[in-house]
Copies of this chain bind each other. A is one copy, B any other.
């Protein structure tokens, strides 16, 4: 757990937002607190859904343990690390939870290790579907409820706040298709709208910030130099030795362009164009092709942020919606809220970057401007 104190919640975002230095550790405590409030609210409203008081107490402990541990599998700089090493943090979580040290900690909390794991990795067979949604669900999870507020606070982005008190107070359990599902009371629709909007705002302002994205790209290159063998950290004991600061230490010893760029915060790439309002992808594709033709593939980087998109407010499709109490039973949030319906569906935010050392940035921007006209 203490390793999380040395993983920054927002990776390199502190290069664009200097105060974004908060760790995954404080986020884990926050998610635990948020989830506890959500659980107590659900228990008050739907006491029968949790069995007798011993069963309810067990589920409360279980939820808290899972939220505390939900990010334990993250490596340094999370997504960049995963891409280089190829092991998703969910699998890491499994390995780490199997460690004696962690197992003993979980046992001391009087919960079953497998139950904890099921909630964190989102096991569809978990006997606790509502808790699973609170831990790893795509919409109303305590993880997201905390990190949105926390990231907004520590970056200072005021528009990332939402009405968390009202949202938690409106949480309800419904039976949908014979299973328990998380949802909200009709009075919570505006709070849910504020939650969905806050997600949108945080993506637009912070998570997709071009400075952060650019340095993450460079970091990706540098990590490949630190770990030329992608299996270097396969061993859990080795993996656990690493955190953000050790990576940064190691970069000091490496004499490659990427490591030097990070060390000296050199802006290797420049933003040529961004497309955050595309309803079709053609302008993006046209610019991308034109830049590549003019400057060569190796000098153009098209950032489609694909790894982040699953965290977007648009993940309301399929059975992954939020249910809202209605006079005839629960209904899809998109039916009762135009705003949510409109912000749902697929998004296509893209950014085009060019390498400064090889490209005339002004020319690249002119090319894109003439094509986007």
- Residues of A participating in the B interface, judged by any CB pair closer than 8 Å: 5-6, 14, 18-19, 21-23, 25-26, 29, 154, 158-159, 161-163, 189-191, 193-194, 197, 200-201, 204-205, 245-246, 249, 276-279, 326-328, 334-339, 341-343, 347, 365-366, 368-370, 372-373
> Known interface pairs A22-B19, A193-B204. Does A328 touch B277 (Cβ–Cβ under 8 Å)?
no
Given the known inter-chain contacts A22-B19, A336-B276, A339-B343, please indicate yes or no for A328 contacting B369, CB distance below 8 A: yes
Sample of 12 more A-B contacts, CB < 8 Å, known A194-B201, A326-B369? A5-B14, A19-B26, A158-B161, A159-B193, A161-B161, A190-B201, A200-B339, A277-B334, A277-B337, A327-B368, A328-B372, A338-B347
Contact check, B159 vs A338: say whether CB atoms are below 8 A apart: no
Contacts of A197 in B (CB 8 A): 159, 197, 201
Counting every copy of the chain, the complex holds 4
Closest B residue to A204 by CB, please name it.
Answer: B190
Taking CB atoms, residues of chain B closer than 8 Å to A334 are: 277
Q: Which of A6, A14, A201, A347 has the most CB of B within 10 A?
A: A201
- The residue on B at minimum CB distance from A161 is B158
Chain B residues within an 8 Å CB radius of A19: 22, 26, 154
Q: Which residues of B contact A14 (CB under 8 A)?
A: 5
Contact present for B26 and A23 (CB under 8 Å): no
13 residue pairs from A and B, CB less than 8 Å apart? A19-B22, A19-B26, A158-B194, A159-B161, A159-B190, A193-B201, A278-B338, A279-B338, A326-B369, A327-B365, A327-B369, A338-B347, A339-B343
Which residues of B have CB within 8 Å of A279? 338, 341
A22 partner, pick from B21, B200, B339, beta carbons under 8 A: B21
Q: Chain B residues near A194: list those with CB within 8 A.
A: 158-159, 201
A45 smallest CB distance to B (angstroms):
19
Among A194, A205, A326, find the residue whose CB has the most chain B CB atoms closer than 10 A: A194
Dominant secondary structure at the A interface: helix
Q: What residues of B have a CB within 8 angstroms of the CB of A249 in the complex?
A: 246
> What residues of chain B lie closer than 8 Å to A6, measured between beta carbons?
245
Whether B161 contacts A190 by the Cβ 8 Å rule is no
Residues of B within 8 A of A369 (CB): 326-328
**Distance of A6 Cα from B23 Cα, bound (Å):** 13
Q: In whole angstroms, how far apart are the Cα atoms of A159 and B327 in the complex?
A: 27
Contacts of A339 in B (CB 8 A): 200, 204, 343
The 9 closest A-B pairs by CB, nearest first: A327-B369, A342-B342, A159-B194, A245-B245, A277-B338, A18-B26, A19-B26, A328-B373, A197-B197
- Give the complex CA separation of A6 and B276 in angstroms: 35
Give the CA-CA distance A368 to B326 in the complex, in Å.
11
Given contacts A162-B159, A342-B343, contact A23 B25 (CB under 8 A): no
Nearest chain B residue, comparing its CB with the CB of A160:
B194
Contacts of A18 in B (CB 8 A): 25-26, 29
What residues on B are CB-neighbors of A373 within 8 Å?
328
* CB nearest to A164 among chain B residues: B158
Q: Write out the residue numbers on chain B whose beta carbons fall within 8 Å of the beta carbon of A370.
A: 328
Give chain B residues whose Cβ lies under 8 Å from the Cβ of A205. Answer: 190
- Least Cβ–Cβ distance between A108 and chain B, in angstroms: 14
